[in-house]
Amino acid sequence: MSFDAEMREALVTFTIESMELLQTMEEGLLNVEADEDPSEQINAIFRAAHTIKGSAGLFGLNHIVAFTHVVESVLDSLRDGKISVSADLIAALLPCCDHIALLIDDVVNGQVTEDLAHTAAGQLLLRELEVFLTGETHKTLVTSNDDHQEKVEAMGGGGTVDSGNWHLSLRFGPDTLREGMDPLSFIRYLSTLGDIVHLTTICTAIPAEEQMDAETCYLGFEIELKSQASKADIENVFEFVRDSSTIRILPMESGIDDFIALIRDLPEDDRYLGELLVNIGAITQQELEEALNQQKSGQEQNQEIDINQSAPRIGEILVDLQAVQQPIINAALEKQKQNKDKKNAENQSIRVDAERLDKLIDLVGELVISGAGVNLRSLISSDDTLKEQTSDLMRLIEEVRDSALQLRMVPIGTTFSRFQRVVRDVSKELGKEIELVISGGETEVDKSIVEKISDPLMHLVRNSMDHGIEPAELRIERGKPARGILRLNAYHASGNIVIEVSDDGGGLNKQRILEKAIERGLIEVNAQLSDQDIYALIFEPGFSTAQQLSNISGRGVGMDVVKRNVTALRGSIEVDSQLGIGATMRIYLPLTLAIIDGFLIGVGQSTFVIPLDRISECLALPSDTNNHEYIDLRGEVLPLIRLRSLFEISGDIPARENVVVVEFAGNKTGFIVDELLGEFQTVIKPLSKLFTHIKGVAGSTILGTGKVALILDVTTLIELATRRNQAIPKTVNPA
Amino acid sequence: MHSLAIEDELTIFTAAEQKKHLLAFLQTDNELEINLANVSEIDTAGLQILILLKREAASNHKKISFVMHSKAVLEILELANLTTLFGDQVVLAND
């Protein structure tokens, strides 16, 4: 099969869309059991499968069509209420979703023909589905052979699946034959657009023998057509006879749902009903014009009678003309009303290449930098107008930056809902009953972060399920409900997004962690560690307290990877645990990776940037510290880091030094600096690989002056300070 | 039983002629047979005539059967889904 560039592009869209649809299917399947009125969900699942099958057919991916077809048939019986939702059914359908994803993945990898190994696997899955199909279809399936095409056709006999989606009502004009056109040839041509499921020739119009003119056309046809073609395409078949003949093309009952769904899915803008209908293909432009003409002439007549009695509505006329059925009009009208109701609640989306978006963000970053440069110059200048205009410009740049970053923000909910499936599968595997509770799914976070966080989250979720939540017997013994609860939560906190994975299981066993850590030589035998530090040990490489290994977790691979991944995102992770009650893993991540609001500080000749959202306050360094490494901040110990000595900066210590108090995850630390230079919007430039081992520096940025400033990694610096100040008592008594 | 073989195409070009011819043939007997083996071409106009013949025969209580359908005729009957309506045993002509 050879694909030209255009085809390949379309294929890419197909794969992306199919993957999204599969996601919808999976979510639907997972929710359908819990739903009180699952019909909407079932419809959504069916539509997803239907669309995948249809699109796959367009690309001639027959193996996908064949497989999806069976899934679709089962879903169809489900939709018709022939079978009901059951755990078994869901359990049989979910692997089918996976299998379709696998097949589409093959397409992504350039394999457009069927893989025999996958086909065999698919057969097994389909056999699982067979029990849900009854009657004829069932028998056909049992004797399933290797030829999918045959199977699909055989299954068509089952009924519902092969009903057409268009009803065509054709009455050819009397002069059609004389004009040199043969109605049957139109039907022959029509059959190239789709399958003619049923056709009835209407010959009642043929008059008695004497009156019958052999050259006059008397025939009409009622046709049920199954086709992916649009209404306009079908109408075009009859282009040459449209004027003299009566051609009505109606979506069939099964298609009405699709149309109504289409109408609801239309982008929310205010349109005329007619255009709305044309837009989705329920009627064609010609039909609209015809109806509009009727409306107009109706109006003219009516004007004489009663001006207030409005002309027939366009919807009514269209139904009269048999262009559309009432339900479609109703749906369109509802949509029209909705549009008026919430014009502002736009919910449109455009698919944009991620690369273009990155480019835009990059450019905005550069804009921010040069904007800062201009601003700096203007402040020195004595031109007041320039200053004013620059400040305007800066405000705009800030807005552009914010909205550009907003573009990349996606709700984390989609990532979370993926875990429904994981929890379901793993809990089955482990034989534990576990419920997943999701909250904060609407919390938005940078797309690149969302992508990278899903693996670490997976580890944490599996870990909690395996080690955290106890087996049911043990839970009952401990007086807890047999069903364990796993929570995923997300929220924003001081410029961070916080993602929590918590369980109501046994919690972390401090004693065992300590024993293990000593055994592995990670800590000294009599080391004094805070709870936090003990819990942090589980993120050390090769650390696992699980008494027995399972294939899910416990090999000690994972938690250290989690930590590494999170750290790579400039985030951090902490653990809260109460023995016997449960544990919470909390991941802190920056909202975005690209641009930060920074605070400029000067030490000697060097300039540093501290992320503004980490700073809680600035104060002058009291003169009586006596070079202690901590000060008393309103009764609390504030460990200090002298940046001058940390980064070995030479130069004289100024008479007055300042302390920048930074806070992270409840820990405060003070940085001793020379100068406070003020806020600075900045773009993070990653350090080259050579410098990645340097601790305490998160990146660099270019100042308006063209100088390079290092961005401090507050998290690691705080860790450094707290570790160094382990021995200091938690509170100092005011002297 | 009278039998008639249609020796020409059954299209718009011959329809008027054929109609006259065939209706006249209808009067000849109460049991009729029309051989379609040599109908090389047939279109909607031709189909209309066949339908008309069938109907006229029925209303006059005559028995008419179409035999030896040519491929062209079969194709068009199938397309119009009239094979069953015509109710004849469809026997293929030997080509």
Is residue A735 included in any domain, yes or no?
no
Rounded percentage of chain B residues whose pLDDT exceeds 70: 89
Is residue A306 included in any domain, yes or no?
no
**Which range has the worst mean pLDDT, A82-96, A322-336, A617-631?**
A322-336
* pLDDT score of A289 more than 80: no
Would you call A215 and B79 a contact, using CB atoms and an 8 Å cutoff? Answer: no
Chain A hits for B73, Cβ within 8 Å: none
More confident residue, B37 or A664: B37
Is residue A610 included in any domain, yes or no?
yes
Q: Which residue of A has its CA nearest to B20?
A: A214
Is residue A731 included in any domain, yes or no?
no
More confident residue, B21 or A495: B21
More confident residue, A309 or B51: B51
Phi and psi torsions of A401, nearest 5° = -60, -50
Condensed to tens digits (0 to 9), the pLDDT of residues A6-49 reads 677 777 778 888 888 888 888 888 887 777 777 788 888 888 88
* pLDDT score of A138 more than 60: no
Ordered DSSP codes for B43-84: -HHHHHHHHHHHHHHHHTT-EEEEESB-HHHHHHHHHTT-HH
* Burial (Cβ within 10 Å: 0-12, 13-18, ≥19) of residue B28: exposed
Q: Does A474 touch chain B (CB under 8 A)?
A: no
pLDDT at A319: 64
pLDDT at A716: 79
Would you call A215 and B23 a contact, using CB atoms and an 8 Å cutoff? Answer: no
* pLDDT score of A552 more than 60: no
Q: Which residue of A has its CA nearest to B16?
A: A214
Instruction: Output the CA–CA distances (angstroms, integers) from residue A285 to A275, A323, A518, B45, in the order listed.
Output: 8, 11, 79, 32
Q: A349 CA to chain B: closest CA distance, Å?
A: 45
Chain B hits for A215, Cβ within 8 Å: 12, 15-16, 45
Would you call B19 and A212 a contact, using CB atoms and an 8 Å cutoff? Answer: yes
Best mutation target among A171, A172, A177 (most B Cβ atoms within 10 Å) is A177
If asked whether residues A467 and A613 sit together in one domain, one would say no
Rounded Cα gap, residues A383 and A157, in angstroms: 84
Rounded percentage of chain A residues whose pLDDT exceeds 90: 1
More confident residue, A270 or A656: A656
Q: Does A183 touch chain B (CB under 8 A)?
A: yes
Q: List all residues 6 or more positions away from A5 whose beta carbon is below 8 Å from its beta carbon.
A: none
Single-letter residue type at A286: Q
* Burial (Cβ within 10 Å: 0-12, 13-18, ≥19) of residue A735: exposed
Is residue A632 included in any domain, yes or no?
yes
pLDDT at A231: 79
Instruction: Output the CA–CA distances (angstroms, integers) from residue A535 to A378, A511, A532, A583, A586, in the order listed.
Output: 52, 11, 5, 10, 12
User: Which one, of B62, B16, B63, B7, lies nearest residue B40 by Cα?
Assistant: B7
**Domain termination site, one of A75, A110, A139:** A139
Q: Name the residue facing A184 among B15, B18, B76 (closest C-beta).
A: B76
Q: Does A221 touch chain B (CB under 8 A)?
A: yes
If asked whether residues A475 and A395 sit together in one domain, one would say no
Detail the DSSP E strand segments found in A643-696. Answer: 658-664, 667-673, 675-683
Rounded Cα gap, residues A359 and A355, in angstroms: 6
Task: Specify whether the CB–CB gap between A569 and A561 falls below 8 A.
Answer: no
Condensed to tens digits (0 to 9), the pLDDT of residues A663-712 reads 876 678 888 888 888 887 777 776 777 776 777 787 788 776 778 888 88
With cut-offs at 50, 70 and 90, classify the pLDDT of residue A500: very high
Q: Does A200 touch chain B (CB under 8 A)?
A: yes
Condensed to tens digits (0 to 9), the pLDDT of residues A100-124 reads 888 888 888 877 777 777 888 888 8
* Burial (Cβ within 10 Å: 0-12, 13-18, ≥19) of residue A161: middle
Give the number of other CB atoms < 10 A from CB of residue A58: 12
pLDDT at A488: 92
Q: List all residues 6 or more positions away from A242 whose beta carbon is below 8 Å from its beta carbon.
A: A235, A286
Dig out the tokens for A696 from the structure. 């305490």
* pLDDT score of B15 more than 80: yes
Q: Which residue of B has its CA nearest to A172?
A: B44
Q: Based on the structure, what is the number of domains in chain A?
A: 5
More confident residue, A551 or A487: A487
Q: Is the dihedral of CA A74, A78, A81, A83 positive or negative?
A: positive
Chain B hits for A190, Cβ within 8 Å: none
Taking CB atoms within 8 Å and a gap of at least 24, the contacts of A244-247 are A244/A172, A244/A173, A244/A174, A244/A175, A244/A176, A244/A179, A245/A170, A245/A171, A245/A172, A245/A173, A245/A176, A246/A169, A246/A170, A246/A171, A247/A168, A247/A169, A247/A170
H helix or E strand, kind and range, residue A460:
helix A447-463
Chain A hits for B76, Cβ within 8 Å: 184
Which domain CATH number covers A489?
3.30.565.10
**Which range has the worst mean pLDDT, A129-133, A250-254, A280-284, A499-503?**
A280-284
Would you call A182 and B43 a contact, using CB atoms and an 8 Å cutoff? Answer: yes
If asked whether residues A510 and A606 sit together in one domain, one would say no
If asked whether residues A135 and A147 sit together in one domain, one would say no
If asked whether residues A420 and A393 sit together in one domain, one would say no
Would you call B7 helix, strand, or coil by DSSP? coil
**Domain termination site, one of A590, A613, A632:** A590
pLDDT at A161: 38
Would you call B44 and A206 a contact, using CB atoms and an 8 Å cutoff? Answer: no
Would you call B51 and A206 a contact, using CB atoms and an 8 Å cutoff? Answer: yes
Q: B53 CA to chain A: closest CA distance, Å?
A: 9
Would you call A200 and B81 a contact, using CB atoms and an 8 Å cutoff? Answer: yes
Chain A hits for B51, Cβ within 8 Å: 203, 206
Taking all residues of chain A, what is their mean pLDDT, rounded to a whole number?
75
Would you call A214 and B18 a contact, using CB atoms and an 8 Å cutoff? Answer: yes
Would you call B48 and A218 a contact, using CB atoms and an 8 Å cutoff? Answer: yes
If asked whether residues A245 and A363 sit together in one domain, one would say no
Rounded percentage of chain A residues whose pLDDT exceeds 70: 75
Task: Specify whether the CB–CB gap between A545 and A619 falls below 8 A.
Answer: no
Chain B hits for A185, Cβ within 8 Å: 43
Task: Specify whether the CB–CB gap between A32 and A38 falls below 8 A.
Answer: yes
Q: Does A215 touch chain B (CB under 8 A)?
A: yes
Chain A hits for B82, Cβ within 8 Å: 201
Condensed to tens digits (0 to 9), the pLDDT of residues A318-330 reads 666 656 666 666 6
**Which range has the worst mean pLDDT, A310-314, A342-346, A605-609, A654-658?**
A342-346
More confident residue, A345 or A132: A132
Is residue A349 included in any domain, yes or no?
no
Condensed to tens digits (0 to 9), the pLDDT of residues A439-456 reads 988 888 887 788 888 888
More confident residue, A586 or A245: A586
First to last CA, chain A: 85
Would you call B12 and A215 a contact, using CB atoms and an 8 Å cutoff? Answer: yes
Best mutation target among B10, B56, B77, B79 (most A Cβ atoms within 10 Å) is B79
Rounded Cα gap, residues A21 and A16, in angstroms: 9
**Strand-strand pairing, B31-35 and B63-67:** parallel
Instruction: Output the CA–CA distances (angstroms, integers) from residue A217 to A220, B11, B42, in the order listed.
Output: 9, 12, 14
More confident residue, A385 or A133: A385
Dig out the tokens for B55 from the structure. 């109907």
Task: Specify whether the CB–CB gap between A531 and A490 falls below 8 A.
Answer: no
pLDDT at A592: 63
Half-sphere exposure of A249 (CA within 13 A, CB side): 27
Q: Does the ipTM surpass 0.90?
A: no
Would you call A120 helix, strand, or coil by DSSP? helix
Dig out the tokens for A293 from the structure. 């003409």
Q: Which residue of B has its CA nearest to A191?
A: B79
Task: Classify residue A326 by its DSSP letter.
Answer: H
Q: B93 CA to chain A: closest CA distance, Å?
A: 23
Condensed to tens digits (0 to 9), the pLDDT of residues A148-185 reads 433 333 333 333 334 567 778 788 888 888 877 888 88
If asked whether residues A715 and A634 sit together in one domain, one would say yes
**Which range has the worst mean pLDDT, A17-21, A41-45, A344-348, A509-513?**
A344-348
Q: B95 CA to chain A: closest CA distance, Å?
A: 24
Q: Which residue of B has its CA nearest to A202?
A: B80
pTM: 0.45
Task: Specify whether the CB–CB gap between B56 and B88 falls below 8 A.
Answer: no
Dig out the tokens for A170 from the structure. 């054709």
Q: List all residues 6 or more positions away from A330 whose beta carbon is below 8 Å from its beta carbon.
A: none
Q: Does A203 touch chain B (CB under 8 A)?
A: yes
Would you call B79 and A184 a contact, using CB atoms and an 8 Å cutoff? Answer: yes
Chain A hits for B12, Cβ within 8 Å: 177-178, 180, 182, 215
Would you call B19 and A200 a contact, using CB atoms and an 8 Å cutoff? Answer: no
- Torsion, CA A468, CA A473, CA A479, CA A485, rounded to 10: 40
Task: Specify whether the CB–CB gap between A454 and A418 falls below 8 A.
Answer: yes
Chain B hits for A187, Cβ within 8 Å: 79-80
If asked whether residues A325 and A389 sit together in one domain, one would say no
Q: Name the residue facing A199 among B16, B56, B81 (closest C-beta).
A: B81
User: Which one, of A698, A465, A692, lies nearest residue A572 by Cα?
Assistant: A698
Q: Name the residue facing B44 among A183, A198, A200 (closest C-beta).
A: A183
Q: Which residue of B has its CA nearest to A201?
A: B80
Is residue A247 included in any domain, yes or no?
yes
Q: Name the residue facing B15 among A199, A206, A214 (closest C-beta).
A: A214
Is residue A305 included in any domain, yes or no?
no
Rounded Cα gap, residues A374 and A296, in angstroms: 62
Condensed to tens digits (0 to 9), the pLDDT of residues A191-241 reads 888 888 778 887 777 888 778 888 888 888 888 888 777 777 888 888 778
Chain B hits for A188, Cβ within 8 Å: 79
pLDDT at A428: 83
Task: Specify whether the CB–CB gap between A61 and A149 falls below 8 A.
Answer: no
Would you call A219 and B47 a contact, using CB atoms and an 8 Å cutoff? Answer: yes
If asked whether residues A215 and A295 sit together in one domain, one would say yes
Would you call B55 and A206 a contact, using CB atoms and an 8 Å cutoff? Answer: yes
If asked whether residues A185 and A151 sit together in one domain, one would say yes
More confident residue, A14 or A603: A603
Phi and psi torsions of A642, nearest 5° = -90, 105
Would you call A445 helix, strand, or coil by DSSP? strand
Give the mean model confidence (pLDDT) for residues A274-280. 59
If asked whether residues A98 and A163 sit together in one domain, one would say no
Single-letter residue type at A365: G
Instruction: Output the CA–CA distances (angstroms, integers) from residue A488 to A26, A35, A146, A460, A481, in the order listed.
Output: 19, 21, 44, 10, 19
Q: Does A206 touch chain B (CB under 8 A)?
A: yes
Q: Name the residue facing B80 among A172, A184, A214 (closest C-beta).
A: A184
Q: Which residues of B touch A (CB under 8 A)?
A: 12, 15-16, 18-19, 23, 43-45, 47-49, 51-52, 55-56, 76, 79-82, 85
Range of the domain at A211: 141-300+311-341
Rounded Cα gap, residues A645 and B82, in angstroms: 98
Q: Does A546 touch chain B (CB under 8 A)?
A: no
pLDDT at A147: 40
If asked whether residues A393 and A427 sit together in one domain, one would say no
Would you call B16 and A215 a contact, using CB atoms and an 8 Å cutoff? Answer: yes
Q: Which residue of B has its CA nearest to A219?
A: B48
Rounded Cα gap, residues A331 and A98, in angstroms: 34
Q: A with B: how many residue pairs have Cβ under 8 Å apart?
A: 67
**Domain termination site, one of A570, A590, A610:** A590
Q: Does A218 touch chain B (CB under 8 A)?
A: yes
Phi-psi region of A479 (alpha: psi -120 to 50; beta: other; left: phi over 0): left
Which domain CATH number covers A89?
1.20.120.160
